[in-house]
Copies of this chain bind each other. A is one copy, B any other.
Amino acid sequence: MSTQSEHPTLLIPGPIEFDDAVLQSMSHYSESHVGPAFVSVFGDVLSDLRKLFQSTDDSAQPFVISGSGTLGWDLVGANLIESGEAALVLGTGYFSDGFADALRVYGADVTELKAPVGSRPQLPEIEAALKAKKYKLLTVTHVDTSTGVLSELRNLSELVHSVSPETLVIVDGVCSVACEEIAFDDWKLDGVVTASQKAIGVPAGLSISFFSGRAIKAIESRKTPPATYYASMMRWLPIMRNYEAKKPSYFATPSPQLIHALHTSLTQILSVPLSERFAKHREASDKIKAAITKMGLNQVASNPDDQAHGMTAIYLPETIQIAQILPSLSKKNIVFAGGIHKEIATKYIRFGHMGVSILEPERGHIERALQSLEEGLAEFGYQKA
């Protein structure tokens, strides 16, 4: 049974199109948040998240908390850093700026290492920054949803561990988890914060995060208590441990329906090797980017090595406005997003390609989107130079 009536195809960088079974789980009958059936499902979700993050380190800890993805920034700011401690934020766009703002709210002494629009800070400058000052943590936005710039994590983390081993490596994975590879243990990451509505494929409403044993220890050895109640990881930690041990536990009421939907989606995700999932996103992305280039369009992420595989940020031809192309696409039942990076917001559009739109090519989402884009541009007189 399909729960989805005819509707425009949503190809923005989140929320994405959802699988029918996931949406069906959203209407699960009401259950007690401390009853054995629900506790078991929540426990399985937490165990499944360990697999999604390719982690077998028992000291690492998944958290699933009701909230927007943004809440992940508060988890980091309120728990992992104390007032006056230094944070190095790798600047890639709107979302790294947001992370920096959130850390400042909690009193962090933030240094933003900003790259030009469409690129990312390079290892030599990061090395120099790490040598110039002692940082409690470094944050990297794995995919900056404002630019489609993909940051490399493995060599970055190796650099941090070599130059400043006490610095925690924190990843904003909102637009990367479940479509870009993240080997949490192997890459020695300390934290990844993400949300449900992107490649994880579940309606918005869940802040999902994963922290290393080292990060948990950093919280446990704070000199001052965290200045938050709801986002206090020490309050959630025993709850998450109990749920995973299938014991009822209460701090704040979780959303059984969203947890059921997450359970359905994670079961689907883990039913095929993760490497296959990442490869499919990569292949589809390569084709999309080739088609965009063939149309004579440029990407905001200028270096092919720095391009995300779950979204593409595309500069419009100078003769065409966002207010022309988005409504034109909409008439063709394709929904793209406008720009959000303040320096270039009016000049580009964003195309999300994650989850079922990639894994079920028979839906035809990507072909229709590319064709609609080409037709839409032609409607307004654009011809490839």
Taken residue by residue from 123 to 153, chain A's Cβ proximity to chain B (1 for < 8 Å, 0 otherwise) reads as 0000000000000000000000000000000
A225 to B102, CA, bound (A): 12
| A66 pairs with B204, CB closer than 8 A | yes
| A251 pairs with B70, CB closer than 8 A | yes
| B229 pairs with A101, CB closer than 8 A | yes
Chain B residue nearest to A356 in the complex (CB): B30
Chain B residue nearest to A36 in the complex (CB): B330
Taken residue by residue from 48 to 89, chain A's Cβ proximity to chain B (1 for < 8 Å, 0 otherwise) reads as 000000000000000001111111011001100000000000
Q: Which residues of B contact A257 (CB under 8 A)?
A: 23, 26, 203-205
Which one of B17, B27, B105 lies within 8 Å of A30 (CB-CB)? Answer: B17
A15 to B28, CA, bound (A): 13
Q: Does A297 contact B (CB under 8 A)?
A: no
**Stretch from A4-12, A158-166, A265-273 forming part of the interface with B:** A4-12
| B14 pairs with A31, CB closer than 8 A | no
Taken residue by residue from 226 to 254, chain A's Cβ proximity to chain B (1 for < 8 Å, 0 otherwise) reads as 11111110000000000000000011111
Which one of B10, B27, B66, B337 lies within 8 Å of A68 (CB-CB)? Answer: B66
Q: Does A296 contact B (CB under 8 A)?
A: no
| A228 pairs with B69, CB closer than 8 A | no
| B29 pairs with A26, CB closer than 8 A | no
A23 to B14, CA, bound (A): 23
| Nearest Cβ on chain B to A17's Cβ, whole angstroms | 5
Q: Does A42 contact B (CB under 8 A)?
A: no
> Are A27 and B29 also in contact (CB < 8 A) when A70-B229, A229-B101, A231-B230 are?
no
| B204 pairs with A255, CB closer than 8 A | yes
Q: Does A35 contact B (CB under 8 A)?
A: yes
Q: Which applies to chain A's interface (DSSP): helix, strand, loop or mixed? A: loop
| B203 pairs with A73, CB closer than 8 A | no
Q: Does A258 contact B (CB under 8 A)?
A: yes
Q: Does A168 contact B (CB under 8 A)?
A: no
Chain B residue nearest to A248 in the complex (CB): B338
Q: Does A371 contact B (CB under 8 A)?
A: no
| B105 pairs with A15, CB closer than 8 A | no
| A227 pairs with B106, CB closer than 8 A | yes
A362 to B337, CA, bound (A): 47
A3 to B106, CA, bound (A): 43
A101 to B205, CA, bound (A): 25
| A253 pairs with B30, CB closer than 8 A | no
A7 to B29, CA, bound (A): 7
| Nearest Cβ on chain B to A95's Cβ, whole angstroms | 11
Q: Does A282 contact B (CB under 8 A)?
A: no
Which one of B10, B14, B27, B102 lies within 8 Å of A253 (CB-CB)? Answer: B14
A10 to B31, CA, bound (A): 7
A99 to B34, CA, bound (A): 21
A194 to B229, CA, bound (A): 16
> Are A66 and B228 also in contact (CB < 8 A) when A7-B29, A257-B26 are?
no
Q: Does A195 contact B (CB under 8 A)?
A: yes
Given contacts A7-B30, A33-B204, A73-B230, 11 further A-B contacts (CB under 8 A): A4-B29, A5-B29, A7-B29, A15-B33, A73-B229, A74-B231, A77-B229, A105-B226, A107-B227, A203-B255, A228-B231
Which 9 pairs across A and B sit closest by C-beta, in order of nearness?
A205-B255, A70-B252, A68-B252, A102-B229, A23-B27, A26-B26, A3-B27, A4-B29, A7-B29
**23 A–B contact pairs at CB < 8 A?**
A7-B29, A15-B30, A15-B33, A15-B253, A18-B30, A24-B27, A26-B26, A32-B337, A35-B335, A66-B67, A68-B230, A68-B254, A71-B230, A73-B230, A74-B228, A102-B230, A105-B229, A105-B232, A204-B256, A204-B257, A205-B258, A228-B228, A228-B231
